[in-house]
Chains A and B, each alone.
Chain A
Amino acid sequence: MMNCLEFRRRVGAEPAISGDEIDAHRGDCPACARHQDELRAMDAMIGRAFVVDTTRIRKPRAVVAPATGRRWLAMAASIVIGVSVGIALWVSSPRASLAREVIGHVASETHAMISTTPIAPEELAGVLDPEGTKLRPGIGDVSFAARCVFAGNVVPHLVVRMPRGPVTVLLLRHRNVDGPVRLEEQGYVGVVLPAPRGSIAIVGRDQKDLDGIAQQVFEAVDWGG
């Protein structure tokens, strides 16, 4: 027969535990039953507490976090490789180069697509304000916003939840294009459009009505004065 000490030792390590002995003791000892219920309630709270918002864990790389030695080496190496590869591709085909860079960035940041929780307006403002831009309401919830390194520049990277699915938006202030550049690689489709400042890349998974979606996103961006 299990006594109170043994019961509390067991449920203190595993509040969810059940079984004949546990249930029998619960029936005999209301205080121990109440104790286990309290521990179960605390576990529910612990479970909620552990589920922190991962978009808050992930800080924008280039702006917030100081690079450690190893990180700096990796960053330097990626920039060198990126620049070398970028120059080669740019010379051969500027449009193909831009398409690969945009898709490459989106594909390397797939975690950005996971969260469906809208971010706080001030978090979005923190990403867009340095560009002097804003996103007009009504386009859809923004579930991710960060300032990312793209082709050696820091650019806003947003994920907007639209009716047809999440759409990635990159504001490429440093990159001009003459006209729309179509992107289609690795299962992604998108377009880079000329913008009042540089260009804007809009990438999704669904190619239906891409132009319509791109137009909506483009019009939702307030480019400032």
Chain B
Amino acid sequence: MTADAMVQARRLRKVYRGANEVEALRGIDLEVERGEMVAIVGPSGSGKTTLLNCLSGLDSFDGGRVVVDGQDLSTMSDRARTAYRSKNMGFVFQAFNLLPVLSAVENVEIPLLLQNLNSRDSRRRSLEMLETLGLAHRANHRPDQLSGGEQQRVAVARALVHKPAVVWADEPTGNLDTEVTQVIVELLVRMNKDGQTIVLVTHNPVVAERAARTLHMRDGRIERTDQSDRPAAEVAQ
């Protein structure tokens, strides 16, 4: 593992047991460097989301090892993993997954409250984050009063507000049209340029080509890796 590796996976295996046993991850080796933006692509059922879930500690795995920012997730209890996620990770999902009963700013401040930041500071930082993303005027709107792009920007704000070590994004543009996809991608790239490590799963080649590195998956394995010629910062530009 290099000194600058933010995420490291070794011989990562995941098996879904049931009537038909499915080996979703077949010994994945992977490293994501600090400040890197990595895209994971591949056909449906190739194991992209499973890999993201295992790397981020959302799901357990059956073999191998995952280390995020120096912490070995495989040795952590569920409670410790949860606490680690709340401090060090941010998530963006395809379906936005905002709480429908909370306003935009209330959704954004959840991670800060979970870290026991006081109410005033939580609100201030959340509003600042929304302002950064151009949503200050929609802070008190609930998700059903926002467009799809706005909802995803709120989700991005929620993922970034507590300055996590890494942001995991699972099909962040899957529910968005081309124009809004572009906005969200630019947003992620801008954050990456500011040093944010981002790992995203996508079907969209336009999104993937903005990443510094693209991992192509098939049948639970990384089939090949496309490295951008330019450094991440340049790619972002």
A binds B: no
Give the B-binding residues of A (Cβ under 8 A): none
